[in-house]
Structure 1
Amino acid sequence: MSQSHQQPALSKCPGCEEPLDAGDLFCGACGYDLSAVPARPGDRPTMAITVPPAGAAAPAAEAVRWPAAAETDSSDVPAPVHRPADLPGTDSGGRPLTGPEHGQQPVPEPTGGPGPVSAAGPVGGAESSAVPVRHDDRAAQDGAEHAGDFALAAPDPRTAEHAAAAPAAPAAGAKVCVACRSGRVDPDGYCENCGHAQPRERDHMEQELGSVAAVSDRGLRHHRNEDSFAVSSTALPDGSPAVVAIVCDGVSSASRPDEASAAAASAANESLLESLPRGTHPQQAMHEAIVAASEAVNALAQEPAGAMEHDAHRHQNAPACTLVGAIMAGELLIVGWVGDSRVYWVPEDRTQPTARLTEDDSWAAQMVAAGLMNEAEAYADERAHAITGWLGADAYELEPHTAAFKPDRPGLVVVCTDGLWNYAESAEEMAAAVPADAQQHPLRAAQVLVGHALDGGGHDNVTVALVPFAVRPQGAGSACETV
């Protein structure tokens, strides 16, 4: 037998909630089609509000009606209400959301007769056992150590496993960034963590070897350090020690001056370490070392394989540098130089006279030697530091200068580039800049002298090597021979 469809009685419009009169087919306010509203179902899902103690029969739970959903679907029918357990899904790790690790209890099949099942468990049938539910205070279930802490659907970001990856610690021996102090420096000189450009190794160099020490710094105006040095020690054939200090200054107007100074310092040092133990006289050994340094610098300008013809004039701006060195061997102090780097003698007893042991290969020195200017006038001229002697393929003629001294009192040998002596030009000014304890602490004294140049403006690269000279006083005067 067919039955006619009865329109459900509504007191308010489902669309605008305006009051309705009995028998209305459309809402007078918004025009909602009341005939499209389905009849309410005769049964509704139920939910257990209380949980009986284990073993006790669960009393019949009062049915609770779910409120109508505020949203409607595309046919203007109120959307059904879903429980969380009704919706499938996975967490960020790909695990189902319905497992107990996500805060939901499994819903067992009812053991009694059929009855409605809720998120809390079966409630129909007298034989159904009580199903535990999650309480707000987890401590009641899992112990005090978990109080107030629910399992997360996604991994806990606070744990080390899922924390943001920190910069990997640099391997042992790897350079560490000077800016962030944690990132590794790549071969290009930049930090892999923060991208900060690192200072080059030659920007500041220090070395201490027994009683000799040297410091080199880029200065405050140059973009790179074009100075270089070498300090070493060896033994003479009789077993007595020999100490070597070489300082080179790259010619900035030439190409690759930093390479020229490094090559010259290394070649001169190696030459001395090879000739002195063989018994070569220290002054002759110094001469040979300067020649070896010159050849090393000249080699930098040699034509590379496959060079183009337009490189035929490469010697006009070949790599070039100056050189100055000192050897302390036995009772002798040997100095050698080409260019305008200098050697100063500062006696331990500062009441004794100081001295400059080298003569510059420069325009100013030539003017003074020719009697055309006095020293003050010559070095005040803008052409004063134009050098007339250097090491390089474009040098007019190599003229190594060497001199041998036999000091009669202990003192300090200061070997330096013009980056230092520009701020302490005379022997007296240099002696005043040298710390009083320089013979006992040469490295610290070299650092002080470099600081003196930086405090004065640091217009050039600064390099200084200090060689303490200890002898027994043998009376006034000293032997000197210049070649």
Structure 2
Amino acid sequence: MPQLTACPSCAEPLEPDDKFCGLCGAELPSPDSLPAGSTTGSTAPSKPPGSGPPAGPASGTPDAYHLAPPAEGPAVQPPPQPTATDPRAKPPAMEAPGPPQALCVACGVGGVDADGYCEHCGHAQPRPRDHQEQELEGVAAVSDRGLRHHRNEDAFTVSATALPDGTPAVVAVVCDGVSSAYRPDDASAAAAEAANESLLEALQHGAAFADAMHDALLTAGQAVTDLAAEDPGRGPAPHHNAPACTCVSAIASGKGFTVGWIGDSRAYWIPDDRDNPAARLTEDDSWAARMVLAGLMSEHEAYADPRAHAITGWLGADAAELEPHTASFEPDGPGVLVVCTDGLWNYAESAAELASVVPADARTNPLRCAQVLVGVALDGGGHDNVTVAVLPFPAPSGRAENEPA
């Protein structure tokens, strides 16, 4: 049997029966595992000259026979570290890609910044309120920014409900923000929403139309007044350039309709039979209207004056005493009720002028009618925001369903 005469780890001389080195404590291989003829402590395979030292540290490391480590204790090896190609390797942190930046609708090249302007050409991008359309059974409305304003300061709501006896009713509210005031777009939106909610609640509880309209305008006025309190310096009194808007609204149900207004937004009655005269149903709260009412100017002279559109009534914290106007009508034939801002009637001021551009199928297609009237204003120059609501009377029956446009 081959015998080791020296410890393979430390070269300490060994006795034939030794199983452990007396110097380093290394466990010695059994004679059966030794190559035939081995009688020395050098059991590692030899390397050709010039190939360098044997693999592994020079001392204290098990050789090719995987001898046990020294008696001081097992060596603790660090866990293997994943490399770049190791599937366990964690990929480098990467930022999640954001949504692609929108391109300018004008130049198609520049991106759009957070304020809604092109970073290349500076063109303002369309906003959600720049153009809006909505149609319900018996009422439709369209609002557009126009061609000169940088934002749409008009707002509208249309809705349908039922009276306590089950009779259907439709409601339209149109508001025009006062551009010279602070936050006119917020003022019109707040007024339209508040008036709509007030009208629906009152109608569902059986309130008289005129009373419901009067209270709704007061509620809308309070909603606009409350905006002033949100900004230091604009509330409480004295107010400076507080948010402000005008408002015109309508209820159509049964045999008639009721309109209510404050400011210079208007309501018109346009009969189907154009041989019958159309009519303007509201009187402006404006300088021109006061001049005409006082007999100081003709209507043509007053509205040609640069002061014509200076309003004398509005909704807002700096308004004078709020005096809502209401009027009720029972037409003797079918037609449409048109409620609008001055962005439309500036281009078709009289009832006859407006009737001349209202489509013949307005009562059966109110959305198209509203679109056509907005187009009239844009074709005329679009100097202001324009909003139009059309209420067929009586409401046509047999339509499939309400569909928002």
Shared fold (TM-score, shorter chain, > 0.5)? yes
Superimposed CA distance per residue, residues 87-123 of structure 1 (whole angstroms, 9 cap, x where no aligned partner): xxxxxxxxxxxxxxxxxxxxxxxxxxxxxxxxxxxxx
* Change in 2 beyond 3 A, CA 1:313/1:293: closer
SS at match of 1:408: coil
**Aligned residue type for 1:256:** R
Deviation at 1:459, TM superposition (A): 1.0
Residue in 2 that maps onto 1:353: 277
Q: Any runs of at least 4 consecutive aligned residues in structure 1 with deviations exceeding 4 A, and if so which?
A: 167-170, 174-188, 190-197, 309-314
Question: Does the CA-based 8 Å contact 1:169-1:183 persist in structure 2?
Answer: no
SS at match of 1:454: helix
Residue in 2 that maps onto 1:263: 190
| 1:200 correspondence with 2:200 | no
Aligned residues: 300
The equivalences for 1:119-268 within 5 A come to 178=105, 188-189=115-116, 198-268=125-195
Residue in 2 that maps onto 1:75: none
How many Å separate the matches in 2 of 1:183 and 1:280? Answer: 55
| 1:470 correspondence with 2:394 | yes
| 1:281 correspondence with 2:205 | no
Question: Does the CA-based 8 Å contact 2:246-2:262 persist in structure 1?
Answer: yes
Question: Does the CA-based 8 Å contact 1:322-1:391 persist in structure 2?
Answer: yes
Deviation at 1:181, TM superposition (A): 8.9
Unaligned ranges ≥5, structure 2: 1-96, 397-405
Question: Does the CA-based 8 Å contact 2:247-2:263 persist in structure 1?
Answer: yes
SS at match of 1:232: strand
The equivalences for 1:37-56 within 5 A come to none
Question: Does the CA-based 8 Å contact 1:420-1:463 persist in structure 2?
Answer: yes
Residue in 2 that maps onto 1:391: 315
Residue in 2 that maps onto 1:36: none
Question: Does the CA-based 8 Å contact 1:286-1:335 persist in structure 2?
Answer: yes
Q: TM-score, normalised by structure 2?
A: 0.68
Deviation at 1:224, TM superposition (A): 1.1
Deviation at 1:237, TM superposition (A): 0.3
Question: Does the CA-based 8 Å contact 2:255-2:394 persist in structure 1?
Answer: no
Deviation at 1:470, TM superposition (A): 1.5
* Change in 2 beyond 3 A, CA 1:182/1:213: farther
Question: Does the CA-based 8 Å contact 2:229-2:235 persist in structure 1?
Answer: no
* Change in 2 beyond 3 A, CA 1:241/1:363: same
SS at match of 1:316: coil
Bigger drift between 365-374 and 176-185 goes to 176-185
Calculate percent identity across the aligned residue pairs: 71
**Aligned residue type for 2:164:** P
Bigger-Rg structure (1/2): 1
SS at match of 2:372: helix
Superimposed CA distance per residue, residues 426-459 of structure 1 (whole angstroms, 9 cap, x where no aligned partner): 1100000111111111111111111101111111
Residue in 1 that maps onto 2:8: none
The equivalences for 1:51-66 within 5 A come to none
Question: Does the CA-based 8 Å contact 1:282-1:329 persist in structure 2?
Answer: no
How many Å separate the matches in 2 of 1:329 and 1:310? Answer: 40
How many Å separate the matches in 2 of 1:456 and 1:206? Answer: 20
**Aligned residue type for 2:178:** V
How many Å separate the matches in 1 of 2:192 and 2:318? Answer: 19
How many Å separate the matches in 2 of 1:196 and 1:317? Answer: 28
Residue in 2 that maps onto 1:37: none
Superimposed CA distance per residue, residues 180-200 of structure 1 (whole angstroms, 9 cap, x where no aligned partner): 999998865468999975311
Deviation at 1:422, TM superposition (A): 0.7
How many Å separate the matches in 2 of 1:168 and 1:296? Answer: 38
Unaligned ranges ≥5, structure 1: 1-166, 473-483
